[in-house]
Amino acid sequence: MKIYRVILDTNILVSALRSKQGASYRLLELLRNRDERWQISVSTALILEYEAVLKREIHRQGRDMSVIDKFVDDIVSVANRHPIFYLLRPYLKDADDDFILELAFSSSADYIVTYNTGNFTRAKLFGTDAITPKNFLQKIGEIP
């Protein structure tokens, strides 16, 4: 059985924080339960982005920000960590996403799971596809 290597874009985590009903939340449940069909990879830059963006979101919701520290720690505890060296800049439509492409390249990721698939069309040149959470859940057979 193939184990997919995946990068979760920050918008997936934000979506999961906002609603427990969607595909993003389901992905994080699978991650928390250590689903063996896929593994995530992170870099220091991505971890820092997760923390900054999620703390802004949780602050907007009026919730305790310490929840985010545990949330990010839990993600990091199951993730494969990879260094990135910023060799591909600027490359993508949104240059702020270049470090995610670098991580995908460094980790040999199969997928970048994101709601902004259009921002990552050039990732295909490096062997990585951008895919929505719903499509990824279908890919691993979690939903029809």
Domain boundaries, the chain: 4-139
- The reported pTM is 0.93
In the predicted structure, residue 130 carries a pLDDT above the cut 90: yes
* Total length of the chain: 144
Q: Domain 4-139 classified CATH 3.65.10.10?
A: no
Q: What is the mean pLDDT of residues 36-41?
A: 97
Band the pLDDT of 94: cuts 50, 70, 90: low
CB 42 within 8 A of CB 75: yes
The vertex-6 CA angle with 133 and 68, nearest 5°, equals 75
Least confident of 43-47, 51-55, 118-122: 118-122
Higher pLDDT, 87 or 100: 100
Band the pLDDT of 131: cuts 50, 70, 90: very high
